[in-house]
Amino acid sequence: MKYTKYLFLLLLLASCASQRAVRHRTYQADALPAQPVAVQQPVQAVEEEELATEEPVVSARPLVSQVRPFPEGTWQADKQQALERLCQSPLFESSQLGLYVYDLTDGQPLYAVNAAHRMRPASCQKVVTAITALDCLGGDYQLRTEFRTKGKVAGGTLQGDLIVVGGMDPMVTPDELLEAAQDIRQKQGIESIAGSIVYDLSMREDKPLGWGWCWDDDYGPLSALLVDGKDTFEEKWLQALSRAGIKVNSNGKGQTAGGREQSKTVYSIRHSIDELLEPMMKNSNNIYAECLFYQTAALGGKKGAGHKEAAQRTEKLLSKIGVDPSPYRIADGSGLSLYNYVSAEMLVALLGYAWQNTSIKEHLLPSLPIAGFDGTLKNRMTGTEADGNVKAKTGSVTGISSLAGYITAANGHTLAFAIINQGISTMQAGRAFQDKVCQELCR
């Protein structure tokens, strides 16, 4: 009897080992085709109330064709085998992996594991935000904060309101506010304001946090008027007016919307999209990412535009490049939200589109962290073959580590890749695996 028991245990262990061996089989995974495929029409953005019930399981329509083995002795075959060995790590006995590598030079997939699985992207969501914004806004887009007057100026007094129209620009500084106040006094002859200071915040929805942010996230509140990325505009603007010698009526109060009718612009603070992209991507600045996300939401001209309008911009882009947007969820611009869901192949599809479009590539590529050189990759892969050859966005939230971008491979080819480690116990475990993948492809 005891021998029968031992035999059963041996058979069980053998079965588990067999399952582990095939869990990450390379050539049964999906991979990106050179040409777009027909897609369904995009669905409407997800409503918050849908979260009250469990949403049905939706099978992702395959974005990609089967990864095929390369002939023995080729660089590609060697890399497939090497990545297969890396994916047999014990790390994946207790965590999930989404991995996709696509050769942009050859126009064919190199390797994929769970490429279509929906996963949380962490800050790799910023890749989605940046490419969507560059596609629909353009590389010449500028963020604007406008100062407008309503009423006549008589004897140095504005007989009306001074209106500040928020453009959700996190790069506005106290020094720029002082310059604005001084210019208004000198060129408009305004030494005092009889009416109110009106703060027009109608560019974005009236919600202090992103959709799906945790209560203890140390970010926000979000506002259409920010100074140094913080919701302190009213305080800093009143200080700037005082320093410029402009007196404000004691009854002047900050208001939340409206007031632009019959007014004229007297000054603007502007910043380029490139100025925003660098800290957003290199340093993974979450507030900057949210501000860019809401630029796309406001593009349609709707007052109080929110995350739904921004999500529709990404859905439209995905449909345009041949990707069915329905399996995915775009909740915010930074990746802080618990509600974001992407896949490795979706990220690579966007990266491939960006690479093929110079108008996007020339703004996106300089903003990405470079391995061993700067940003969030400054201290990663240093002194290895990947040093300087990986330009990618990092991501990390509790239990999630991700990396997505471009690699200059050892054979001179450019690769687009995305790696999502989900359910990991430490960030270091995910980062170590990602670094090994990049180093192998650069070797």
For 110-146, write each residue's pLDDT tens digit: 999 999 999 999 999 999 999 999 999 999 999 999 9
For residue 8, with 0-12 CB atoms within 10 Å meaning exposed, 13-18 middle and 19 or more buried, which class applies?
exposed
Q: Which whole number is the average pLDDT over 90-97?
A: 97
Please give the class, per CATH, of domain 142-272: alpha beta
Distance CA 147, CA 157 (A): 16
Between 258 and 209, where is the model more confident? Answer: 209
pLDDT of 379 over the 70 cut: yes
Confidence of residue 17 (pLDDT cuts 50, 70, 90): very low
- Lowest mean pLDDT of 25-29, 67-71, 306-310, 433-437, name the range: 25-29
Q: Which residue has the tokens 């050892």?
A: 410
The pLDDT of residue 15 is 42
Q: What is the mean pLDDT of the chain?
A: 87
pLDDT of 108 over the 80 cut: yes
Q: In the chain, what are the domain boundaries? A: 29-35+60-139+286-442, 142-272
- Lowest mean pLDDT of 13-17, 86-90, 160-164, name the range: 13-17
The pLDDT of residue 377 is 98
The pLDDT of residue 411 is 95
Give the burial string for 167-196 (b: 16+ CB within 10 Å, else e): bbbbbbebebbbebbbebbeebebebbbbb
The pLDDT of residue 215 is 73
For 167-211, write each residue's pLDDT tens digit: 999 999 999 999 999 999 999 999 999 999 999 999 999 998 888
- Report helix, strand or coil for 440: helix
The pLDDT of residue 22 is 37
Write down the CATH number for the domain with range 29-35+60-139+286-442. Answer: 3.40.710.10
For 409-419, write each residue's pLDDT tens digit: 999 999 999 99
- Report helix, strand or coil for 121: coil
The pLDDT of residue 250 is 57
The pLDDT of residue 261 is 63
